Amino acid sequence: MKMWLRAMAVLALAQMVVPAAAAEAELALLSSYVGNWQGEGALVGGDKPEPFRCRLNISRGNQQKVNYTGRCTLVNATLSISGTIAYNDAARQYEAVMSSNAGYTGLAIGRRGNNQISFDLRERQKDRGGSDVRIGSRILLIGDSITVDFEVEFNNSGDVLTASVPFQR
């Protein structure tokens, strides 16, 4: 009977240690993206493609999080974003939160596969004229690179603006 109790105690202890080790590994992966990043692409879908340049700073946050702030410039506009990316150990999933100066706020669950983690943030809101607009952002963490895809769809006209920005340190 004592042997059985010892085996159960060892098994219970092992189950408590594995999640902590998993969370540390996930945080180490997220922390590998800490640093200053730059990227450029083009905003496509208007009269002509417009240059789209971005900077992104990722820093270590509290607990199992990394924080990010970024700024993208277009010809006549600036888009600022900020948020956190975390590993939620209890739910065993990555989570990203983003907000922007364009009024966008979203939460996305990270999907891990093929050596990448992807986050799809989607929201519907109204433009200045009161028309429905769908705004989306996709963050891809792939190896030692980051790509952010942006998309805005104006539901009344059907016009879609997109930009894909690959980042490098």
Give the whole-angstrom CA distance, residue 133 versus residue 125.
5
Q: What is the pLDDT of residue 128?
A: 65
pTM over 0.75: yes
Q: What is the pLDDT of residue 17?
A: 38
Give the whole-angstrom CA distance, residue 144 versus residue 76.
31
**Angle subtended at Cα 129 by Cα 124 and Cα 131, rounded to the nearest 5 degrees:** 35
113 touches 141 (CB < 8 A):
no
Which two structure tokens, joined as six digits, stand for 59?
């820093």
For residue 110, the surrounding DSSP H or E stretch is strand 105-113
Residues of the chain with pLDDT under 50: 1-19
Which two structure tokens, joined as six digits, stand for 117?
């983690």
For residue 18, the surrounding DSSP H or E stretch is helix 2-31
